């Protein structure tokens, strides 16, 4: 289903906060942990139904976090800034490298509505039939379904951690009636969790979703405030193409000036203007090859 969105735009600061008891309770049994993860996912579902949440931007930033976690699982040391550089500063003909490929897979998985075709675009090494078979491995409640998909992929392809986590999040989204993959599991799981199977893996997934859902809710509230400010200052921008540029900032984690629909000098001036207005941030701390984002 699609999220029901109110016709009015309310104050981003009024987004509902995660109840403290969801994240502070100490649960040991799988029944208690499952109850808490269900409460957390339900709260996130409510937040995602709010009109002021920038859904595409939220998914793109969660994709970055998921990619960062997966890169760490593989023993590599690239962090968020390295992943942004690997993808957003690519020149024609360049290859993004293993870490950049991981980030691209997550971005592609989250940017289009969930389908075998869309997931095949994110995971080109796997045939659509194989992807469909793995997705069908999940049944039952949403987290159980996601854990079964994760288990099935890792049992058959132990080194396919990124595809396994993407497909598990896809199964979770389908079970919850979400149109898009919302990257959640990778950021909450530990590397050792990916070696678990059966009920142990399901318990790990429940625990992971309690923590990652809490962070997703916090991020949604932060991005709602930031995008509201960007929309408020947008009428002050006079450059031709500024409206399309603002739309890019509202949907992407990071943007290079050269990607904006303006001449190079005008694009750099627009980015500087938006920084001065407090509407976007320069993300790299560099004097050259800069990236900007909400």
In angstroms and rounded to an integer, the radius of gyration of the C-alpha atoms of the chain is 19
Domain ranges of the chain: 26-224, 237-293
Return all residues near 61 (Cβ < 8 A) that are at least 6 apart: 219, 223, 253
pLDDT of residue 1: 40
Return all residues near 185 (Cβ < 8 A) that are at least 6 apart: 66, 146, 150, 165, 168, 169, 172, 205, 208, 209, 212
Model confidence pLDDT, tens digit, residues 211-221: 999 999 999 99
The secondary element (H helix, E strand) that includes residue 281 is: strand 281-282
Q: Nearest Cα to 242, choosing from 266, 222, 219? A: 266
Residue 29, helix vs strand vs coil: coil
pTM of this structure: 0.92
Least confidently predicted of 17-21, 134-138, 193-197, 233-237: 17-21
Residue 293, helix vs strand vs coil: strand
The secondary element (H helix, E strand) that includes residue 89 is: none
Calpha distance 88→283 (Å, rounded): 12
CATH number of 237-293: 1.10.10
The secondary element (H helix, E strand) that includes residue 282 is: strand 281-282
DSSP secondary-structure letter at 43? Answer: H
Return all residues near 212 (Cβ < 8 A) that are at least 6 apart: 184, 185, 187, 188
Model confidence pLDDT, tens digit, residues 14-68: 788 888 888 777 777 889 999 999 999 999 999 999 999 999 999 999 999 999 9
- Locate 255 and state its tokens: 């943007």
Model confidence pLDDT, tens digit, residues 187-200: 999 999 999 999 99
């Amino acid at each position: 289903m699609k999220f029901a969105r109110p016709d009015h735009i309310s104050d981003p600061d009024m987004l509902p906060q995660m109840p403290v008891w969801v994240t502070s309770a100490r649960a040991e049994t799988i029944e208690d942990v499952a109850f808490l993860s269900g409460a957390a996912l339900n709260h996130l579902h409510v937040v995602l139904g709010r009109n002021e949440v920038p859904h595409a931007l939220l998914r793109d930033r969660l994709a970055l976090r998921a990619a960062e976690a997966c890169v760490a699982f593989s023993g590599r040391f690239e962090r968020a800034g390295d992943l942004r550089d690997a993808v957003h500063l690519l020149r024609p003909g360049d290859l993004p490298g293993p870490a950049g490929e991981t980030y691209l897979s997550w971005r592609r998985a989250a940017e289009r509505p969930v389908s075998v075709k869309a997931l095949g675009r994110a995971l080109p090494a796997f045939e659509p039939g194989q992807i469909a078979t793995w997705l069908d491995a999940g049944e039952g409640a949403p987290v159980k379904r996601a854990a079964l998909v994760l288990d099935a992929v890792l049992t058959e392809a132990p080194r396919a951690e990124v595809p396994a986590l993407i497909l598990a999040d896809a199964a979770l989204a389908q079970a919850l009636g979400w149109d898009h993959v919302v990257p959640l599991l990778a950021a909450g799981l530990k590397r050792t969790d990916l070696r678990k199977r059966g009920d142990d893996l399901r318990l790990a997934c429940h625990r992971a979703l309690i923590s990652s859902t809490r962070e997703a809710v916090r991020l949604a509230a932060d991005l709602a405030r930031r995008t509201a400010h960007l929309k408020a200052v947008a009428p002050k921008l006079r450059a031709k193409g500024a409206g399309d540029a603002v739309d890019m900032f509202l949907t992407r984690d990071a943007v290079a000036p050269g990607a904006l629909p303006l001449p190079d000098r005008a694009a750099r001036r627009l980015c500087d203007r938006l920084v001065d207005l407090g509407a976007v941030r320069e993300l790299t701390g560099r004097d050259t090859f800069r990236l900007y984002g909400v």
